[in-house]
Amino acid sequence: MASFSRPFVNEILNQIESLIVEAESQTRPLEMAPYRGQLFELFVTSFRESLVDEEDGPLAADAICRELGDRWGLSTAAQSSMSEHKSLTADQLAKMRSLWSVMRMWMEWTYAWSRWNEFHRGASQESGNPPSA
């Protein structure tokens, strides 16, 4: 994997977290405008910097969810919930749902963009990269 700047990765994570918090405060799904478009712009930036590799990318879908889940204490909460046989709080469930939404969209975009060349061999793009956002 190419080297990456940890401050840059943290900035992207912070922006994703801010989008989630804002969407939750507005009780709007991340899949709708303006959140989906803003999240996609962060994906494009991350993809261009080669940070979304599913194996070891610091901004792969599972890495984002793991990092934000750790920030929000969701791993600990889920483990406690299992061991103590009690439900997660409404806030914890909302955060998990948001992370699943981000993860699903991020994985779909990663898959589509990684296969761009396969389906656009005759395209006039010289770089062979997916189109700009």
Token pair for 105: 């969209």
Domain ranges of the chain: 6-115
- Predicted pLDDT of residue 125: 52
Backbone phi, psi, residue 17, to 5°: -60, -45
Q: Whole-structure pTM over 0.85, yes or no?
A: no
Tens digit of each residue's pLDDT, the chain (133 residues) = 456 799 999 999 999 999 999 999 999 999 999 999 999 999 999 999 999 998 889 999 999 999 999 999 998 888 887 888 888 889 999 999 999 999 999 999 999 988 888 887 765 455 556 665 5
Q: How many CA atoms lie within 13 A of 48 on its CB side?
A: 13
